[in-house]
Homo-oligomer: A and B are copies of this chain.
Amino acid sequence: MKTLLLNKEDVGRLICMKEVIETVEEAYKAFNSGQVNQPPYTCIHLPPSGEIDFKISHSAANEIISMKASSGGFPNNPIDHGVPSGMGTVLLFDARSCALICVMDGSLLTGLRTGAAGAVSVKALARKNVKTVTSIGTGKQARMQIRAIHHVMKIEEIHAWDHHPENLARYKADIEGEFGIPVVMARSMQAAVEQAHILITTTRGKGALVEAAWIQPGTHIVAMGTDTYGKQEFEPEIFRGAKIVNDSIAQCIEKGETWHPLNRNIIRREDIHAELGEILLGKKPGRETDHEITIFDSTGMAIQDNTTAAKIYRNAIASQTGTTFEFIS
């Protein structure tokens, strides 16, 4: 029995952002069609700041079981061990036999599928013909969001803000160089948010909050930074009266941005409009007016890893990329 091995370079060559956006849509649709089994994930904390998470899912749609181990929070890794501060590994099993069909590096996967999630929400929930994107946060995922959203709309201007001016300047240089989209370095978070047609937050969820008074009517919010209890990016008042969409309601009310307004009784659970897959499947409406504020709160789901890694695997088979190894002969 041959198992395909794919290294980081292989993975990077085997899929493009357009395909990731498609596989994340496929994931959300499968999730809201009752075709996904996605148990709570397992986290091992490794003090002082490290952790490794194991996220498992089964899709009856593609008959693949995926297990992604992803680590982070080891800043001394490059110097002490000669490896990155965070890494990932993905196993894929054929659900019909449980044969191990692929072991691939998973370093790129989380970034790609998280970026794509923002783009899928923009397609479903943002006003048509909007032009400006505001990015609160300027790290890797902030860039990935632009890379993905750039595929689904024409971005004419980006307003960006970061607590650290040097990070902001680097972001501006990189984004303008890669995409040719002008980046305005905002003088304050408020100034950036007030310009937003689409507002993306990708911070560590430990800094100043975006305030409700700054949000313009019609804004679509992509709230990506809060994926664990204890993180927060928004004044909870923002959720009052907004159209709230989650990737997984069960996850978001427990550890997403949506937890905060629920905890403060600003909204009730029934005020959550939908899971994104329900909108993609036409079970619930997306945006209905130009004035409403839409919020997509995402905590990330194992099924996104599943469908994206499965596509990488299929592309590898089709292009005869990778190495094989027989764990059982």
Chain A residues engaging chain B, CB cutoff 8 angstroms: 1, 5, 7-9, 37, 39-40, 42-44, 46, 50, 52, 54, 56, 58, 65, 67, 69, 71, 74, 77, 80-84, 86-87, 89, 91, 93-100, 103-105, 107, 323, 325-329
Closest residue of chain B to A71 (Cβ to Cβ) is: B98
Taking a contact as CB atoms under 8 Å apart, the answer to whether A96 and B67 are in contact is no
Across the A-B interface, the 8 shortest Cβ-Cβ residue pairs: A71-B98, A105-B327, A81-B97, A39-B42, A83-B99, A52-B98, A44-B58, A8-B328
Contact partners of A100 in chain B: CB under 8 A? 69, 87, 89
A42-B42, A44-B39, A52-B98 known; A8-B329 Cβ under 8 A: yes
Contact partners of A93 in chain B: CB under 8 A? 52, 69, 71
Closest residue of chain B to A70 (Cβ to Cβ) is: B98
Contact partners of A8 in chain B: CB under 8 A? 327-329
**Cα–Cα, bound, A77→B98 (Å):** 9
A39-B44, A325-B323, A327-B89 known; A52-B77 Cβ under 8 A: no
Closest residue of chain B to A9 (Cβ to Cβ) is: B329
Taking a contact as CB atoms under 8 Å apart, the answer to whether B7 and A326 are in contact is yes
Q: How far in angstroms is the closest Cβ of chain B from A100?
A: 5
Closest residue of chain B to A99 (Cβ to Cβ) is: B83
Contact partners of A50 in chain B: CB under 8 A? 98
**Cα–Cα, bound, A19→B243 (Å):** 60
Taking a contact as CB atoms under 8 Å apart, the answer to whether A98 and B74 are in contact is yes
Contact partners of A42 in chain B: CB under 8 A? 39-40, 42, 54, 56
**Cα–Cα, bound, A95→B42 (Å):** 15
Contact partners of A98 in chain B: CB under 8 A? 46, 50, 52, 71, 74, 86-87
Taking a contact as CB atoms under 8 Å apart, the answer to whether B328 and A107 are in contact is yes
Taking a contact as CB atoms under 8 Å apart, the answer to whether A67 and B69 are in contact is yes
**Cα–Cα, bound, A112→B323 (Å):** 30
Closest residue of chain B to A46 (Cβ to Cβ) is: B95
**Cα–Cα, bound, A328→B329 (Å):** 26
Closest residue of chain B to A326 (Cβ to Cβ) is: B7
11 A–B contacts, CB within 8 A, in A order: A5-B5, A7-B327, A39-B44, A42-B54, A44-B65, A69-B93, A83-B99, A87-B99, A103-B327, A105-B328, A107-B328
Q: How far in angstroms is the closest Cβ of chain B from A234?
A: 31
